[in-house]
Amino acid sequence: MNDDRSKILASIRASLATAAGVRAARGPHGSPPAIAAPPPTTELTVPAVGPKGPASIRAVTGFQGALDRVQGVCHRVTSDAGAADALQAVIADLGVRRVVRSDDHLVIEILERVIGGFELLPPDADRSLLLQCELGVSRATIGVVEYGTIVLSSGDTQGVKGTPTERQRLVALLPATHVAILAATDLVETWDAALTALCSTSGDLPPTATFATGPSRTADIELELVLGVHGPKNQHVILLEHR
Amino acid sequence: MTASGSEPRETGSIHHLHAHQFDDLVPRALANVELRGALAKATNTIRNRRAIALEGIDDLQKLRGQAKAIKTEALAHLDEHLETFERHATANGIQVQWAADAESARAMVLKIAIKNGTRLAVKAKSMVSEEIGLNDALIDAGIVPVETDLGEWIVQLAEEPPSHILAPAIHKRRREIRDLLARVLGRPMPDDAAGLTEVARNELRGRFAQAELGISGANFLVAETGSFLLIENEGNIRLTTSLPKIHVAVVGIEKIVPRLQDLGPLVRIITRSATGQPISCYQTLVTSPKTSLEDDGPEEIHLILLDNGRSKLLEDDLTAETLRCIRCSACLNVCPVYRQIGGHAYGSVYPGPIGAIFTPLIAGMHAASQLPGASSLCGACREVCPVDIDIPGVLLHLRHRAAEGDRSTGGRPASDPQTAEKNRVMRRGFRLWRWAMGSSRRFEIFGALGRLLATVVGRVPSLAKYAGPLGGWTNGRAVPRSPGRSFRSSDVARRLRREEEDRKR
Ligand code: SF4
């Protein structure tokens, strides 16, 4: 198998050399090479992410509108108590009995304000129990205004690699409804900026980061749009304008 | 190591390839009216969605230029980027292996599967997996592979190959799917797409939870960070890469991009070109296996870099363009040939315009030289291609390779027997044509002969099937009415000749 490695690399190099030879033989008057080197490095760098300040009202409404267009629901709140109310309403509306949460401190704080009536599971509950949960609550580390995207970075609660992230991978994936808690100061304008922010916050990438835009969907049967295939059917974002 | 030596390097292989039966498969596909109806409807819909999605982009050409430049740069230094990727991915804890061909890739996956006692493997849709025939290999080893993308699951249950890169069950009507599921699951099925999707969700949930192994492809490999990006709508890839303890990704070497920031423009253009959404539901960037006890990800991630004939394409700047492909499938939806015959008629897991060039380039001309002929060269594919691959140019290049040969074939024609026969007949025909055109006397004789034949066949159309190679032409067309006498003997022609002589004098 190690042999395959050198075989592939040798083959690539030989091919590139052949192509270069042909190009050279064709001379400056030949047709321009299809594979030319000029790299697009400079224009490609994305606009730098500015220092975090209070999010503009434009960003908040922009995010809300974009999420709405992809059949997600954005709840704008201005206090932690408001967030708890919004969450409570979602839980009551759907008649949810079993909720799983991530271990993010803000998520825990907000859930503490929610009046019971359902069973609350921590993220390390047994997997068979997780599979039965109807709703999951976790934090979104970044929100993207242009698409209504939320970034779910998962992995390492201990910070073995980079800064600690919450444990939310299955919380945001298995239940039919996912509620993300997003601080307005974590909004960025573009997808590219979110990618930049993702590396710059921890200096290192988390084991996995999912950029999620609206509920999961398919059009595999006669191209008819159906929401909720394998991922969540309902995507709610509680947007904390005060944070 | 020299490439120009007499020994041409071997090509790769494509599983279940029967592109040499193209001539038989096409009439069968054309006769299937139901298929053509489904295809026309579906491809039209996606095409329009794509057009609308791209209207929203101010500077589409600039974005295409960026996407093209990124892939071009990546390919120009493919060896270095792959080594960089390997270094970073390994440091992240991903186990990287290199597979020169399909067989070696299959063996690697099997070894991992067997070592971990796999009985059930969940799979996220992957063209490369189809290319190397991974499912059959798993089944032979006693492992059950379960496709989890809805369309792919449907065609797996129907025991058919996918017919579209992105919408594998595009050729199936809802009714057909309902009956199929009812038969396989042994209970009555709902009638609507939402109900059928719900059935799939519930059926597959259990599989995700049981599977010891998750298998996927990847859309992009990032050299700079050793990460890879998975793009999807359904969430099945997230499940495939989250629930099983082991994750194996099999990825073509051409999927590499140099920098993390290169993902931006590519993500921006790929979904718009593919389904017409501004962005897909999920893009998952995987950088390492789970790093702590509390995390929920896979304990091991194996990444298999597959060549299978790809590196050879770099020998020529034109064929190298093929490796820029990001598998968005936009070219399928606009292709007048694909839209009529559908994916299965190509006899390759890669159908449509991209399949017509990628298949013979990977599997060799001897296996698929008819596919480059499956095009009207209208150029629609290139017009929509987000990375501006000169598909018509490569098609012509391959037709030339089949008829005359080129550097890569040592100057000898390279084709399957069917194409060789067609080319032989054609060459004979054109030789005769040249001879007939060589003198005005012969021209007149052949003209008269042609008029006579046209008159006879025009009266008795059933004779057309004896017209040899021309029989195919008359299959779908009426023979034009013969004009009775030649243009040269008409009054107009005579007058023109007189004028011409006057001018000369
Ligand atoms: S050739 Fe171009 S249009 Fe066709 S699938 Fe590849 S990237 Fe898309």
Contact B263 A195 (CB under 8 A): yes
Q: Are B64 and B386 in contact (CB under 8 A)?
A: yes
For tokens 């298929």, the residue is B35
Find the mean pLDDT for residues A200-206.
72
Same domain for A94 and A13: no
Contact A220 B168 (CB under 8 A): yes
Model confidence pLDDT, tens digit, residues A62-102: 999 999 999 999 999 999 999 999 999 999 999 999 999 99
Q: Which residue's CA lies nearest to atom 2 of ligand 1? A: B385
Same domain for A202 and A102: yes
Angstroms from B416 CA to nearest CA on chain A: 25
Q: Are A145 and A187 in contact (CB under 8 A)?
A: yes
Q: Ligand 1 centre and the CA of B358: distance in Å?
A: 11
Q: Ligand 1 centre and the CA of B377: distance in Å?
A: 15
**Buried/exposed B304-314: b ≥16 CB within 10 Å, e otherwise:** bbbbbbbbbbb
Same domain for A185 and A84: yes
Which residues form the pocket of ligand 1, taking CB atoms under 6 Å from any ligand atom?
A: B 273, 325-331, 354, 384-387, 389
- Pick from A230, A233, A234, A235 the residue to mutate for testing the B interface (most B CBs within 10 Å): A230
List chain A residues with CB under 8 Å of B321. 34-35
What single letter denotes the amino acid at residue B66?
Answer: Q
Determine the residue of chain A that is closest to B168 in CA distance: A220
Determine the residue of chain B that is closest to A2 in CA distance: B98
Both tokens assigned to B278:
């501004």
Q: Are A210 and B229 in contact (CB under 8 A)?
A: no
Choose the residue to mutate in B68, B354, B382, B383 for probing ligand 1, maximizing ligand atoms within 8 Å of C-beta. Answer: B354
Same domain for A84 and A67: yes
Determine the residue of chain A that is closest to B311 in CA distance: A12
Same domain for A15 and A105: no
Q: Which CATH number is A179's domain given?
A: 3.40.50.10420
Same domain for A120 and A4: no
Contact B295 A123 (CB under 8 A): no
Question: pLDDT tens string for chain B (505 positions)?
Answer: 333 333 345 678 899 898 888 888 988 888 888 888 888 888 888 888 888 888 777 788 889 999 999 999 999 999 999 999 999 999 999 999 999 999 999 999 999 999 999 999 999 989 999 999 999 999 999 999 999 999 999 999 999 989 999 889 988 889 999 999 999 999 999 999 999 999 999 999 999 999 999 999 999 999 999 999 999 999 999 999 999 999 999 999 999 999 999 999 999 999 989 988 889 999 999 999 988 776 788 999 999 999 999 999 999 999 999 999 999 999 999 999 999 999 999 999 999 999 999 999 999 998 899 999 999 999 999 999 999 999 999 999 999 999 888 888 888 888 888 888 888 888 898 999 999 999 989 998 988 888 888 888 878 777 777 766 666 677 667 777 777 788 888 889 899 999 999 998 7
Same domain for A92 and A8: no
Angstroms from A140 CA to nearest CA on chain B: 14
Query: In which band, very low, low, confident or very high, does the pLDDT at A157 lie, cut at 50, 70 and 90?
Result: low
Q: Can you give the three-state secondary structure of chain A, one letter per residue? A: CHHHHHHHHHHHHHHHHHHHHHHHHHCCCCCCCCCCCCCCHHHHCCCCCCCCCCCCHHHHHHHHHHHHHCCCEEEEECCHHHHHHHHHHHHHHHCCCEEEECCCHHHHHHHHHCCCCCEEECCCCCHHHHCCCCEEEEECCEEECCCCEEEEEECCCCCCCCCCCCCCCCCCCCCCEEEEEEEHHHEECCHHHHHHHHHHHHCCCCCEEEEEECCCEECCCCCCCEECCCCCCEEEEEEECCC
Q: Which residue's CA lies nearest to atom 6 of ligand 1? A: B325
- Pick from B78, B317, B406 the residue to mutate for testing the A interface (most A CBs within 10 Å): B317
Contact A216 B292 (CB under 8 A): no
Same domain for A97 and A22: no
Same domain for A111 and A202: yes
Q: Which residue has the higher pLDDT, A214 or B16?
A: A214
What's the confidence (pLDDT) of residue B7? 39
How many structural domains does chain A have? 2
- Pick from B84, B152, B291 the residue to mutate for testing the A interface (most A CBs within 10 Å): B291
Contact A223 B78 (CB under 8 A): no
Q: Ligand 1 centre and the CA of B389: distance in Å?
A: 7
Q: Which of A14, A155, A195 sits opposite B297 (nearest CB)?
A: A155
Find the mean pLDDT for residues A170-192.
95
Same domain for A58 and A20: no
ipTM: 0.90
Same domain for A57 and A21: no
What domains are there in chain B, each with its CATH number? 68-312 (3.40.50.10420), 437-504 (no CATH)
Same domain for A121 and A151: yes
Q: Which of B278, B287, B316 sits opposite A206 (nearest CB)?
A: B287
List chain A residues with CB under 8 Å of B287. 205-209
Q: Which domain holds residue A204?
A: 38-240
Determine the residue of chain B that is closest to A166 in CA distance: B295
